Amino acid sequence: MKPRIIKTNAEKPGEEILEAAEYIKQGKLVAFPTETVYGLGADALNEKAVRRIFEVKGRPADNPLIVHVSRIEQIYEIAEPNDVAEELIEKFFPGPLTLVMKNKKVPKIVTAGLETVAIRMPNHKVALKLIDYSSPIAAPSANKSGKPSPTKAEHVLEDFNGEIECIIDAGETIIGLESTVVDTTVYPLEILRPGGVTKEEIERYFEVRFAEEVGTPKSPGMKYRHYAPKAELIVLVGDGFFEKALEVAKNFEKRGKRVGIAGLGIKGENCFNLGDSLQDFAKNLFKALRELDKKCDLIIMQGVEEKGLGKAIMNRLKKAGKIYRI
Ligand code: TXA
Ligand code: MG
């Protein structure tokens, strides 16, 4: 089965989204864009449809999915946000923030049997329209388990051609890294996965810490290897990245390895320029891994300071490769 590919305009999606919504209503799988990465969606209340997400993605059953909503009322229909969650919803929804709260009626298959459910409202017109026309949508990132997340429809097709019914193509996603996952059932709040909303932004309103620093068992998903290209990935953190990377590359090339370098503001053969800001870095990170992976045995990537968005970037890089200080 070749997926039906529906092209749309990210800023002005039209009635073509109705066709994708029909697939969701019929219990089929639809990959769709959000502001973070592409998601692989199914009707969140349809157990059979959700089961197929786990199957095609190769996702362990103990790793719960995020439920995506398009209106605040939908949250109250399926979950029970507390006061803190309500305030975070008011400040950050729609946006790259996922809130873990008490579950009300989302099936166990979505929550991996937990008493809680993770909910987010994407800040993307296509995603919002799709949900509006169908139902709340359970969706992980639309990549095979373990692979870099997709920031373009082409990435989804690379991983799932022949396995899903529909892909909505609205071009590249904006942020490029997944949402921040926050547990609102504990206080101080705990960040289970750093992402598009930074700790510094949440801290303006509430006390918050990284779960990994408190020693809380992590978000189920965080224990798995992730985001990894087939090529070996090494990440160099510190000053003088490009010179060091060229030196390392030369050594490996002598031994017949094909080497790619990804960093901010770099130019040259087999070099991927990630842009000139942390935002650009986040946006281009997964694309760089996927593109260099096609032609290299070794990828050398720049590392950044673990502050602001840099925390989410380094979280992904640590899972995908080996970190070295220079
Ligand atoms: O930006 C995003 O969040 C993207 C787009 C498509 O929305 N989605 C995404 O989903 O990254 P996924 O499945 O790749 O990651 C969801 C994360 C996993 O680490 C999972 O363990 C965690 O959220 N999670 C989901 N439900 C949870 C719950 N009830 N308690 C704790 N963690 C939960
Ligand atoms: Mg994922």
Q: List the beta strands (DSSP E) in the chain.
A: 4-7, 30-32, 39-43, 66-68, 79-80, 97-103, 116-120, 137-139, 166-169, 180-183, 189-193, 208-210, 232-237, 259-263, 271-273, 298-302, 322-325
Nearest-angstrom CA–CA distance, 167 and 311: 31
Question: Looking at the CA of 227, which ligand is closest?
Answer: 2
- What are the φ and ψ backbone dihedral angles of 101, each rounded to 5 degrees? -140, 180
Residue 54 CB neighbours (<10 A): 18
Number of domains comprising the chain: 2
Domain identity same for 170 and 319: no
Over residues 173-205, the pLDDT tens digits come to: 999 999 999 999 999 999 999 999 999 999 999
Instruction: Please check whether residue 292 is in contact with residue 303, taking contact to mean a CB–CB distance below 8 angstroms.
Output: no
Domain identity same for 175 and 96: yes
- Residue 217's pLDDT is 65
Domain identity same for 155 and 40: yes
Structural domain contains residue 96: yes
Domain identity same for 164 and 258: no
Q: CB under 8 Å to 245, separation ≥6 — which residues?
A: 236, 261, 263, 300, 302
Domain identity same for 110 and 240: no
| Residue of 36, 59, 65, 143 to mutate, ligand 1, most atoms within 8 A of C-beta | 65
| pLDDT at position 113 over 70 | yes
- Residue 1's pLDDT is 77
Question: Looking at the CA of 39, which ligand is closest?
Answer: 1
Over residues 258-303, the pLDDT tens digits come to: 999 999 999 999 999 999 999 999 999 999 999 999 999 999 999 9
Domain identity same for 199 and 135: yes
Domain identity same for 182 and 237: no
- Residue 322's pLDDT is 96
Percent of the chain, pLDDT > 70?
97
| pLDDT at position 216 over 80 | no
CATH of the domain at 184: 3.90.870.10
Domain identity same for 200 and 244: no
Mean pLDDT of 77-83: 98
Structural domain contains residue 223: no
Structural domain contains residue 250: yes
Domain identity same for 191 and 243: no
Residue 321 CB neighbours (<10 A): 22
Average pLDDT over the chain reads 96
Domain identity same for 18 and 144: yes
Over residues 154-165, the pLDDT tens digits come to: 999 999 999 999
pTM of the predicted protein model: 0.96
Question: Looking at the CA of 220, which ligand is closest?
Answer: 1
Domain span including residue 306: 232-325
- Residue 90's pLDDT is 98
Domain identity same for 321 and 187: no
Confidence of residue 218 (pLDDT cuts 50, 70, 90): low
Pocket around ligand 1: residues whose beta carbon is below 6 Å from it?
Answer: 34, 36-37, 39, 63-66, 98, 100, 111, 114, 116-118, 120, 122, 139-141, 178-179, 181, 192-193, 219-222
Query: Which among 210, 240, 260 is the end of a domain?
Result: 210
